[in-house]
């Protein structure tokens, strides 16, 4: 390949310096990288040369590099100290680039502006963390390096749920700023759900007048009473058409495509609060959900039951007329080729009781409620196609038959995506057991339970392309941030990072370049960059993993392990605060019956790293499994 030829030509200019690898911690790992002997010092008069097509990139570079003290910045059309050039190279594609740092300066070459942008993101990672703060860096020296890079997948996404809790335009822009540092290029925008309708639809004004607002609750999700009818509905918000246009333009300047999601036919309580006639159970008592339970989830993978209806009526033409208006305005606002229709977690118990639905089944020869949902999905696809867009939905849209050219986002593991790909439908892999970054990421008693746990190591094992599946059917992968229990942008950051770094490497880097131990070392260096950029993140990868089981005598056995190597864990049983003079864990031990709390802390190289865990006896008993 041409890439290999480039690498061979460049090798004589220097040789690989493994001792300097710590200065080139890039996430996601590049396609090819050769570190050379020597360093380049940024001059005090720093000149950037770039083509006209790269004006947004140049402006971002100037903003960032202006934080280097005593440095004067300017641009030119001729050769600069940092040179950005466009040259057609089919092997690089639209997002690939080469980055060279040597005695002559810095050069980034690409076939398209997106490649230049990602080359700049890599260059920024090679610079000191101080570039994210005013006068935070000086006398910047960069290791000589030759990088040739391109993405493995075209779809590299993060999903932000703005329905459960509303995030402002400025907060969404910041989320975009942060994600592009790691070469994400899709923001999946979850705009509607039971807890709020977040996009203005001018032809249906009640969607935001009513559906965007609810009474405020500040505590734990699903730990709240239902609101009274006269309780003030002051919590929420929505994006106007002008807001959406601004966000789309901003994302485009960062080479991010925003894919909107309007979640139907389930997850529609906010829509029903505004227009109750769209339900199979019309009533004036619908309200925007504030977090209280209204669905029985026992049949999660089969038959879930709604206590309060949150589903549109698939037999009503009023529904399709309304959705034609909604998707018409959405399609006009978002340039994305795809519109996501949701289609997940749809309770059908009220459909089963509906005379309208029974008539529909007879008229259309539908055998069961799964085929009723398939009928609904096919009707929605026709609407979306009529707007010049393609339909995408969660893997439940497979049930009852997948329509036309619909694409599938596989969230209940990989199974749905595999099935869709075999049926020649495009797939985005976002399996909850690897990429649901709303799940708690460390010790549950320290972080609070959110459905289930998902540690960084597990996320790093994400592989978007299953064995035996045609690669052309897999668009890429995505991490999803549902925000039931994420009320602020700071908490959104904490849940996103560093797990988004792991997913970034799975969707950009060659599979064979992934290495957990190396990745951990890079993450630790990027913690410094996240600190400098004032991005909140989790350090749960440092925390002990405490598991228990019962032996044949009924005694509780405790095991302590680490997610990463190099740690010694110390613990106490007497409610004292442990340090490196306490009990050092070496082997599984029996927990005495009179212990009320186990405290554990991790040390590396004589220094405490991570937080101290305080785990009550009740939690230790709960997680135990009997040994037979």
DSSP-assigned letters across all residues of 312-380? B-TT-HHHHHHHHHHHHHHHHH---SEEEEE--S---HHHHH-HHHHHHHHHHT--SHHHHHHHHHHHH
> Which residues, 6+ apart, have CB-to-CB distance to 465 below 8 Å?
429, 471, 474, 511
- 111: CATH: 3.30.379.10
| Tens of pLDDT, residues 463-472 | 999 999 999 9
The reply to whether 483 and 414 lie within a common domain is yes
The residue annotated as part of the active site, out of 165, 188, 267, 425, is 267
Sheet holding 545-550, edge to edge: 545-550, 556-561, 589-590
Residue 598 lies in a domain: yes
The reply to whether 201 and 136 lie within a common domain is no
Query: Which portions of the chain are predicted below pLDDT 50?
Result: 1-22, 628
The reply to whether 377 and 264 lie within a common domain is yes
The residue annotated as part of the active site, out of 193, 329, 447, 505, is 193
* Predicted pLDDT of residue 265: 98
| Tens of pLDDT, residues 250-281 | 999 999 999 999 999 999 999 999 999 999 99
Of 532, 562, 588, the residue at which a domain comes to its end is 532
Q: Give dist(CA 137, CA 66) in Å, integer.
A: 10
The reply to whether 125 and 40 lie within a common domain is yes
**How is residue 605 written in tokens?**
């190289």
The reply to whether 319 and 433 lie within a common domain is yes
CA dihedral 574, 577, 578, 583 (to 10 degrees): -10
**How is residue 606 written in tokens?**
């004589």
The reply to whether 167 and 139 lie within a common domain is no
Q: Phi-psi region for residue 517, left (φ > 0), alpha (ψ -120 to 50) or beta?
A: alpha
The reply to whether 336 and 387 lie within a common domain is yes
Predicted TM-score (pTM) of this structure: 0.94
The residue annotated as part of the active site, out of 345, 396, 399, 438, is 345
Residue 537 lies in a domain: no
Of 126, 149, 172, the residue at which a domain comes to its end is 149
Q: Give dist(CA 348, CA 343) in Å, integer.
A: 12
The reply to whether 582 and 527 lie within a common domain is no
What is the number of structural domains in the chain? 3
> Which residues, 6+ apart, have CB-to-CB distance to 358 below 8 Å?
none
The reply to whether 47 and 176 lie within a common domain is no
Of 513, 532, 551, the residue at which a domain comes to its end is 532
Strand partners, 74: 47
**Residues 391/406, Cβ–Cβ less than 8 Å:** yes
Burial class from Cβ neighbours inside 10 Å (0-12, 13-18, 19+) for residue 388 reads exposed
Residue 538 lies in a domain: no
Q: Which domain holds residue 402?
A: 155-532
Q: Give dist(CA 91, CA 389) in Å, integer.
A: 29
Task: Respond yes or no: is residue 149 known to be catalytic.
Answer: no
Task: Respond yes or no: is residue 345 known to be catalytic.
Answer: yes
In the three-class reduction of DSSP (H, G, I as helix; E, B as strand; rest coil), residue 180 is classed as helix
Going by the DSSP 8-state scheme, the letter that residue 440 receives in this structure is: B
Residue 464 lies in a domain: yes
| Tens of pLDDT, residues 526-556 | 999 999 999 999 999 999 999 999 999 999 9
The reply to whether 130 and 201 lie within a common domain is no
Q: Give dist(CA 384, CA 262) in Å, integer.
A: 11
**Residues 312/277, Cβ–Cβ less than 8 Å:** no
Residue 628 lies in a domain: no
The reply to whether 145 and 262 lie within a common domain is no
**Residues 620/598, Cβ–Cβ less than 8 Å:** yes
The reply to whether 457 and 596 lie within a common domain is no
């Amino acid at each position: 390949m041409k890439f290999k030829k480039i690498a061979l030509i460049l090798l004589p200019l220097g040789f690989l310096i493994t001792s300097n690898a710590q200065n080139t911690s890039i996430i996601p790992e590049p396609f090819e990288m050769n570190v050379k002997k020597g360093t380049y010092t940024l001059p005090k008069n720093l000149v950037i040369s770039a083509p006209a097509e790269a004006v947004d990139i140049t402006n971002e570079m100037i903003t960032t590099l202006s934080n280097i003290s005593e440095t004067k910045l300017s641009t030119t059309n001729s050769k600069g100290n940092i040179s950005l050039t466009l040259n057609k190279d089919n092997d690089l594609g639209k997002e690939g680039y080469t980055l060279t740092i040597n005695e002559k300066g810095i050069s980034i070459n690409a076939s398209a502006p997106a490649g230049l942008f990602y080359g700049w993101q890599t260059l920024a990672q090679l610079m000191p963390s101080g570039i994210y703060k005013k006068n935070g860096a000086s006398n910047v020296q960069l290791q000589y390096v030759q990088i040739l890079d391109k993405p493995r997948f075209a779809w590299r996404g993060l999903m932000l749920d703005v329905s459960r809790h509303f995030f402002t335009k400025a907060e969404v822009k910041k989320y975009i700023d942060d994600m592009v540092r790691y070469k994400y290029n899709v923001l999946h925008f979850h705009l509607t759900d039971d807890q709020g309708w977040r996009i203005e639809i001018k032809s249906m004004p009640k969607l935001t007048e009513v559906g965007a607002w609810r009474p405020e609750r500040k505590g734990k999700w699903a730990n709240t009473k239902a609101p009274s009818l006269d309780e003030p509905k002051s919590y929420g918000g929505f994006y106007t058409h002008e807001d959406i246009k601004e966000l789309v333009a901003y994302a485009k300047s960062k080479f991010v495509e925003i894919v909107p999601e309007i979640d139907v036919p389930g997850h529609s309580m906010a829509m029903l609060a505004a227009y109750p006639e769209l339900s199979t159970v019309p009533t004036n008592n619908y309200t925007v959900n504030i977090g209280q339970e209204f669905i029985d989830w026992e049949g999660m993978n089969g038959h879930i039951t709604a206590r309060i209806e949150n589903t549109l009526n698939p037999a009503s033409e009023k529904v399709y007329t309304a959705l034609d208006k909604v998707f018409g305005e959405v399609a006009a606002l978002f340039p994305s080729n795809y519109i996501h229709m949701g289609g997940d977690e749809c309770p059908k118990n009220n459909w089963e009781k509906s005379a309208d639905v029974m008539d529909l089944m007879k008229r259309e020869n539908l055998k069961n409620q799964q085929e009723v949902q398939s009928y609904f999905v096919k009707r929605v696809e026709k609407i979306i196609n009529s707007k010049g867009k393609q339909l995408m939905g969660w893997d439940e849209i497979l049930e009852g038959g997948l329509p036309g050219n619909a694409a599938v986002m596989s969230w209940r593991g990989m199974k749905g995506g595999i099935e869709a790909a075999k049926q020649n439908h495009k797939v985005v892999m976002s399996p909850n057991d690897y990429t649901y970054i709303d799940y708690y990421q460390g010790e549950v008693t320290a972080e609070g339970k959110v459905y289930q746990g998902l540690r960084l190591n597990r996320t790093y094992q994400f592989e978007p392309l299953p064995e035996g599946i045609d690669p052309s059917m897999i668009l890429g992968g995505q991490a999803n941030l549902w925000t039931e229990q994420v009320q602020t942008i700071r908490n959104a950051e904490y849940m996103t990072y560093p797990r988004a770094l792991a997913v970034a490497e799975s969707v950009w880097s060659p599979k064979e370049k992934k290495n957990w131990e190396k990745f951990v070392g890079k993450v630790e260096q990027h913690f410094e960059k996240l600190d400098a950029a004032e991005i909140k993140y989790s350090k749960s990868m440092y925390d002990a993993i405490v598991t228990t089981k019962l032996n044949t005598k009924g005694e509780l056995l405790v095991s302590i392990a680490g997610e990463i190597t190099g740690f010694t864990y110390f613990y106490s049983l007497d409610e004292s605060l442990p340090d490196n003079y306490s009990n050092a864990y070496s082997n599984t031990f029996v927990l005495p019956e009179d212990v009320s709390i186990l405290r554990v802390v991790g040390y590396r190289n004589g220094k405490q790293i991570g937080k101290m865990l305080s785990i009550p006896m009740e939690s230790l008993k709960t997680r135990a499994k009997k040994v037979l």
